Amino acid sequence: MRAILAGIATSALVAPALIARRAPAVPRAIAAKVVRPQRVAVAGEVPTVEPVELQDLTPEDARTYNAAIPFVRGPRPAARPFRFAGDDVQRARATDCLAAAAWYEAGDDPVGQQAVVQVVLNRLRHPAFPKTVCGVVFQGQERATGCQFTFTCDGALTRHPSEPAWERARQVATKALNGAVFAKVGYATHYHTDWVVPYWSASLDKLAEIHTHLFFRWTGWWGTPAAFRRTVSSDEPVIALLGTLSPVHRLGGALEEATTAIAAAPPGVTVAPLATGMVPGEPDSVTALLTGGAADTYPATAKAACGPRPKCKFLGWTDRAMLPRGTAMTPEQMANMSFSYLRDQNAGLERELWNCREFPRTGPGLCMRRQVVPVAAPTGAPVLRGPADLDGVRRRDEPVAATTPAS
């Protein structure tokens, strides 16, 4: 077996050079428009997952160019079977994420769906990608550009499959999570339609063609079976974008499950029970009572409460008495706010801030600006005023808020 794997790895390293010499000619006018980055990541360097950026070609020129790229020579082994190891809730979340990828990427076509699902599971076991099924499918969902599967960020999720079509997609996903393999695409981690040419396609091995889709694997060692041995996680996240389609991804039930699960964890690991309300007149603002929870859980709580909204303001208090009852907030309520989260996807903004008097933090840019509560002077008492500036007192600049790293 070691000899076989060594042979596959060697052929994968040599193949790119052979292909480059034997590739058929592309019409000169088309070739002049194509940028051809060719880089093979060495075994000790995990390859970069690039966003989907397209060459400036018409659909006709793209088809001509794609047809001129030869299929890789040498071994094209089928992927190993994958079997999901999580509990029923985790399995249900993984199934619906996988089914969503299948239906939104391939429509109601069982062959195309199997190919897409196999690519997702290949990515899952490769170190360059997230370690959960839902994490792979929704990688980059928060960015208008840069999502790995375009349906997660182009508004396609507002369309829903019919119930029979959705159930067929779930059956394809279920079989794959139980070990079914779609051998034709091998260890492909990338694909695209034949009427476009992504920048990355020139650097990958072309493996298969299914209908109008072309499938690719990384060149060199990272495209061999030995690279697909990453330990995966069954801790499938809740995807709020799927809430209207999938009951297991709906916010209310998900928060209850999270609270129950974390409450059973070791002491000190807790989640904030959530009691939220929308701010009247402000549809994108949420106020929340955060009681008994760990401060580090607040960002996840806020994001779950905001759901898929492109703009959202989440304001949380741990003191029930400070929770606002209307649109106006008193200076005292502002000063005692425990946590805030602000999202504006159009402006590329995502900000998380804590009340550092309540939750001391050492990271830069994580503290709210300290609010001063005015105190009324007693009637008739003289008002004492200090100097406008105090020499020798170093004032701290307002920290720049840290943004949440993209997936």
Task: Note whether 285 and 223 are same-domain residues.
Answer: no
Task: Note whether 212 and 289 are same-domain residues.
Answer: no
Please indicate, yes or no, if residue 317 is contained in any of the structural domains: yes
Please indicate, yes or no, if residue 378 is contained in any of the structural domains: no
Task: Please state the rounded mean pLDDT for residues 247-258.
Answer: 58
Please indicate, yes or no, if residue 374 is contained in any of the structural domains: no
Task: Note whether 170 and 69 are same-domain residues.
Answer: yes
Q: Euclidean distance between the first and final Cα of the chain, in Å?
A: 36
Task: Note whether 171 and 289 are same-domain residues.
Answer: no
Task: Note whether 196 and 298 are same-domain residues.
Answer: no
Please indicate, yes or no, if residue 256 is contained in any of the structural domains: no
The domain boundary, picked from 193, 227, 261, lies at 227
Mean pLDDT check: name the lowest of 149-163, 214-228, 251-265, 340-354: 251-265
Please indicate, yes or no, if residue 88 is contained in any of the structural domains: yes
Task: Note whether 278 and 198 are same-domain residues.
Answer: no
Please indicate, yes or no, if residue 306 is contained in any of the structural domains: yes
Task: Note whether 160 and 309 are same-domain residues.
Answer: no
The domain boundary, picked from 175, 208, 227, lies at 227
Q: What is the pLDDT of residue 207?
A: 94
Task: Note whether 189 and 276 are same-domain residues.
Answer: no
Note the pLDDT tens digit of each residue in 40-61.
Answer: 666 667 777 777 778 888 899 8
Total domains, the chain: 2
Task: Note whether 176 and 298 are same-domain residues.
Answer: no
Note the pLDDT tens digit of each residue in 339-370.
Answer: 898 888 877 788 888 888 888 765 666 888 76
Distance CA 219, CA 40 (A): 6
Range of the domain at 348: 270-354
Task: Note whether 328 and 202 are same-domain residues.
Answer: no
310 versus 10: the higher-pLDDT residue is: 310
Backbone Cα Rg of the chain: 26
- Does this model's pTM top 0.75? no
The domain boundary, picked from 335, 354, 373, lies at 354
Tokens representing residue 12 in the block: 């994968």
119 has pLDDT over 50 = yes
Please indicate, yes or no, if residue 223 is contained in any of the structural domains: yes
Task: Note whether 196 and 341 are same-domain residues.
Answer: no
Distance CA 60, CA 67 (A): 11
Task: Note whether 55 and 109 are same-domain residues.
Answer: yes
Please indicate, yes or no, if residue 257 is contained in any of the structural domains: no
Distance CA 396, CA 407 (A): 32
